[in-house]
């Protein structure tokens, strides 16, 4: 088993998505892009510009979904990554995605989340008592759902690894990849 889900939707953050997508391949994992339906998705780039108090958004690259949420058999996947951007705010209402999310938490498989990605496990009821990093503007969602906000570039809570933004990828993605390698080796 070496397939890992990457959850996206329209307005998924480009760097949040592509860094783990290619990083997974470096360690012989197969990243599988999952979305509401199987089609091409427009990603975006996010940055708080100097002097701005809100996030500026530009169009980024596109990414093709390999599979629709309704067709995912979560038992076939080793881990999952919740990308950031605006997508989680909208796709978190998809019941198939909620089922997938709960599977990974219940099975204690390696999970990673960045930025707004926290909105998905929060909506699925999976963050109660869990420590997570996210952006300040998602602190409310996390805490409202019982999670514990930590303002650090890498937070590890059991099988869950999280970072605040793509600026933290170098801090938390490696820890998640290590968990995936250990899980893959244990399954052999």
Torsional sign, CA 62, 67, 69, 73: negative
* Phi, psi for residue 145 in degrees, rounded to 5: -95, 10
Contact 69, 41 (CB under 8 A): no
Residue 106 CB partners (closer than 8 Å, separation 6+): none
Question: Which of 99, 116, 167, 169 is flagged as catalytic?
Answer: 116
Please say if 167 is a catalytic residue. Answer: no
**Integer Cα distance of 21 and 67 in angstroms:** 15
- SS (HEC) of 55-111: CEEEEEEEEECCEEHHHCCHHHCCEEEECCECHHHHHCCCHHHHHHHHHHHHCCCCE
Indicate which residues carry an active-site annotation. Answer: 116
């Amino acid at each position: 088993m070496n397939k890992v889900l990457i959850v996206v939707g329209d307005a998924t953050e480009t760097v949040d998505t592509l860094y783990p997508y290619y990083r997974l391949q470096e360690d012989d994992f197969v990243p599988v892009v999952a979305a509401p339906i199987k089609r091409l998705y427009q990603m975006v780039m996010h940055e708080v510009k100097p002097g701005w108090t809100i996030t500026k958004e530009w169009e980024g690259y596109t990414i093709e979904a390999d599979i629709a949420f309704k067709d995912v058999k979560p038992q076939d996947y080793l881990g999952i990554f919740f990308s950031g951007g605006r997508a989680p705010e909208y796709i978190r209402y998809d019941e198939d995605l909620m089922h997938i999310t709960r599977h990974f938490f219940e099975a204690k498989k390696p999970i990673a989340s960045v930025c707004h990605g926290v909105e998905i496990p929060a909506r699925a009821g999976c963050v109660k008592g869990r420590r997570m990093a996210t952006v300040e503007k998602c602190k409310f969602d996390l805490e409202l759902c019982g999670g514990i906000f930590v303002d650090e570039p890498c937070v590890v809570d059991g099988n869950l690894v999280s970072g605040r933004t793509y600026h933290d990828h170098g801090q938390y993605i490696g820890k998640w990849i290590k968990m995936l390698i250990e899980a893959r080796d244990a399954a052999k």
